[in-house]
Amino acid sequence: MASPSTSFPGEHPAKLVINDVSKSFTPSRVLVQALDNVSLTVAEGEFLCLIGPSGCGKSTLLDIIAGLTRPDSGRVLADGKLVEGPGRQRLVMFQESALFPWLDAYGNVMFGLKLRPDLTNRERHKIADYYLELVGLEKFKHAHVHELSGGMKQRVALARALAPDPQVLLMDEPFAALDALTRDQLYDDIQRIWMESRKTIVFVTHNVREAACLGDRVVLMSPSPGRIAEIFEVPLPRPRDINSPDLAGYAYRIAAALKGTLVEGAVSE
């Protein structure tokens, strides 16, 4: 099988280079090949979506990029440097909010900032205020985590991930648990924030429309073993509306390919 093109066309330098990464797990004595020789390059400032059925290793790949999981073989380079552990250059926004309930919204945003010794306290407060305002929650600064709605929690989580100014933002199905209306609003927000900050974003999802709406490229992964099946480019102008018919065309193609990976996976098993 010819391996699909894995580099982003354009003049942007590579931010992340994923090189022949493999990873397997053995839960309950059955070997699961989560990732099998996956290679991928993410350009600086790119919004890349990873999509695939459950078990295709997309979350594992994200963990490996974050440095939270070590690959069995292969390596990940961030800015040309080998990723050997987690670092605040690559912050993760998780599926569940993962906000700390013992801190209020502001305290959560401050958490990562306090770990940056290069900032003064005054700067930290300024940055935290800025990002809470950016996600529209300046009025909920001192709200406890449980007092926030699901969408607000993920906004705080986004502010918390953005505040320490990481170069790469890794998002692991951050909107999966939210209702459709809240999600649509967050698509607008995340696109606006991305266009302003031009961070490199790797976004894991199992929602085809979401991937087509947000990604410059959509990387489709197939399960058992986890591999890259196909890469789609989505050259639509931004900001994109998730309900636009143009976008639906791309989503349709990706969805058709996604079904293909499921059939293929079923045959090879």
Partner 1 sequence: MKRLIIAVLFFVVLFAVWDLAVRSGRWSAILLPSPVAVADYIWSALWDGTLIDAAWVTLKRLFIGYLAGVIIGLPLGLLTSTSQILEDTVGALALGLQTLPSVCWVPLALVWFGQTEGAMLFVVIMGTVWSVIIATDNGTRNIPPIYARAARTMGSEGFHKWTRVILPASLPFLVSGMKQGWAFAWRSLMAAEIYVTILTGFGLGHLLHYGRELNAMEQVIGVMIVIVLIGWLADRCLFSPWERFLHRRWGTNVKAS
Residue 94 beta carbon to partner 1: minimum distance, rounded to whole angstroms: 6
Give the residue from 207, 212, 203, 215 showing the smallest Cα distance to 168.
203
Helix (H) or strand (E) holding 73: strand 73-78
Nearer to partner 1, 83 or 228 (CB): 83
Helix (H) or strand (E) holding 173: none
C-alpha–C-alpha distance, residues 60 and 74, integer Å = 14
Residue 137 beta carbon to partner 1: minimum distance, rounded to whole angstroms: 17
Binding to partner 1 (CB under 8 A) within 126-155 occurs at: 144-147
Residue 259 beta carbon to partner 1: minimum distance, rounded to whole angstroms: 31
For position 123 contacting partner 1 by CB under 8 A, the verdict is no
Residue 155 beta carbon to partner 1: minimum distance, rounded to whole angstroms: 15
Q: Which of 10, 13, 101, 136 binds partner 1 (CB under 8 A)?
A: 101
Residue where the block lists tokens 């990002």: 131
Evaluate the CA torsion angle 78, 79, 85, 87 in order and state its sign: negative
Q: Which of 7, 72, 94, 129 binds partner 1 (CB under 8 A)?
A: 94
**Residue 214 contacts residue 192 (beta carbons within 8 Å):** no
Residues that bind partner 1 (CB under 8 A): 66-68, 86-88, 90-92, 94, 96, 98, 100-103, 111-112, 115-116, 144-147, 160, 164
